[in-house]
Amino acid sequence: MAEDVVQTISLIDWILTMALVAAVWRMYDTIQPQSHVPGEAEPPGAVSGPRDAKSGPVQRKLQRVRDAGGFGSIEDFVRGARYAYEAVVTAYGAGETASLAGMLAPDVHEAFDEAIAGRAARGETLTMIFIGLVSATPVDAGMEEGRCWISVRFIAQRVSATTDRDGNVIDGHPRRVDEVAETWAFARALGSRDPNWVLVATGEEA
């Protein structure tokens, strides 16, 4: 699992605070009435490629999850998911995930920490300029075992390069803008008073 996560998240690194994320997501979720990693198990129905969130089946799934979960609009959820994406990749790139404890499922948190430790042990350095998020689109949703989940496909642009201990570029390019597509799954307990969502899976498209 650690190798898969290294492949998935070693390309992402930029700046936003976790405090802002938690506050914004909580605000979005309460202002109205109430990825898999390659080789890992997906939440039921999670996707590895794009789908149209405006199509009938996906929209109906999202509506059922919204009704059962007792939160605001899907648009508000997506705004929070965008902030969460920024916060998670920032913390990973900085090599510090302690502040993400409330946003990551335990196995995801462990995998991120293992990937960070592996990078440090190899003497690798990740340098990145984040250009911005092109889109964040819900692509699937469902309910299982007392929780609901929503998968979101993110498309982001960035310039990134990983160098070894001698300064040689071993991944990416320091002067090339790349577009990265990833599908992340967020979950929360049905009926929970905690409005925050937890990242339960990540996956980068080939």
**Which of 22-26, 27-31, 39-43, 112-116 holds the top average pLDDT?**
112-116
* Contact by Cβ (8 Å): 8, 44: no
* Contact by Cβ (8 Å): 187, 76: no
Residues sharing a CB contact under 8 Å with residue 174, sequence separation 6 or more, in sequence order: 127, 159, 161
User: Which domains occur in the chain, in start order?
Assistant: 2-201 (3.10.450.240)
pLDDT tens column, 38-87: 333 333 333 333 344 455 889 999 999 988 877 778 898 999 999 998 88
Helix axes of 2-9 and 106-121: crossing angle, nearest 10 degrees: 80
**CA distance linking residue 171 with residue 182, whole number of Å:** 18
Residue 144 pairs in a beta bridge with 147
Residue 145 has pLDDT above 50, yes or no: yes
pLDDT the model gives residue 206: 66
pLDDT tens column, 81-132: 999 988 888 788 778 888 888 899 999 999 999 999 999 999 999 887 778 8
| Residue type present at position 15 | I
Residue 37 has pLDDT above 80, yes or no: no
Residue 194 half-sphere exposure toward CB, CA atoms < 13 A: 10
* Contact by Cβ (8 Å): 163, 66: no
